[in-house]
Amino acid sequence: MINSMTKNHHVKHAPSAPYVPTPHDMDRWISWLLRGGVLLSLAFLVIGTIITFIHHPSYLTTAISTHTLKNPAEGVVPNHILGIWEMMKNGHGQGFVALGLVILIATPVMRVALSVITFWLEKDRAFVLITAGVLSLLILSLVLGKAG
């Protein structure tokens, strides 16, 4: 029922008129963004894990390496984007996995950014301020976290 309402709304729009999204458009866009982020992240996680097991066939059967994998030495865990890129260039599966995790972490931030844009298109000034405030606070906490 709700979907058919949204469709009618599209039909009424003259192609030349500036497009003003409805709240239902926003629901769909955000839903797409979240689904896209999740699928992209999942793809990298799966590919990276498969590469890791192909490079280390012993991981499939022997228990020896589990302890080292559970207790990684300092510097083994990737903790910045350039490190991930290096690992991926060298064909390390864990680099692909780490990129998948970064995409997963970035997805909610992108969602807030998309809502700022949508509210701006809707000309909902109060919510442009609110969502832009949340986005700035998110960025602030990331910057503070890096510094601290």
Q: Is 102 buried (19+), middle (13-18) or exposed (0-12) by CB count in 10 A?
A: middle
Q: Which is nearer to other proteins, 11 or 64 (CB)?
A: 64
Residues 6 or more apart whose Cβ sits within 8 Å of residue 9: 22, 24
Report whether 56 contacts 114 (CB < 8 A). no
128 binds other proteins (CB under 8 A): no
89 binds other proteins (CB under 8 A): no
Nearest distance from residue 11's CB to other proteins, in Å?
A: 21
Q: Which is nearer to other proteins, 20 or 140 (CB)?
A: 140
Q: Which amino acid is at 2?
A: I
Distance, CA of 95 to CA of 17 (rounded, Å): 46
97 binds other proteins (CB under 8 A): yes
Distance, CA of 100 to CA of 96 (rounded, Å): 6
Distance, CA of 98 to CA of 79 (rounded, Å): 9
Q: Which of residues 45-74 bind other proteins (CB under 8 A)?
A: 45-46, 48-49, 52-53, 56, 59-63, 65-66, 69-72, 74
Query: Which residues would be at the binding site for other proteins (CB under 8 A)?
Result: 1-2, 26-28, 30-32, 34-35, 37-38, 41-42, 45-46, 48-49, 52-53, 56, 59-63, 65-66, 69-72, 74-75, 77-80, 94, 97-98, 100-102, 104-109, 111-112, 115, 126-127, 130-131, 133-134, 137-138, 140-142, 144-146, 148
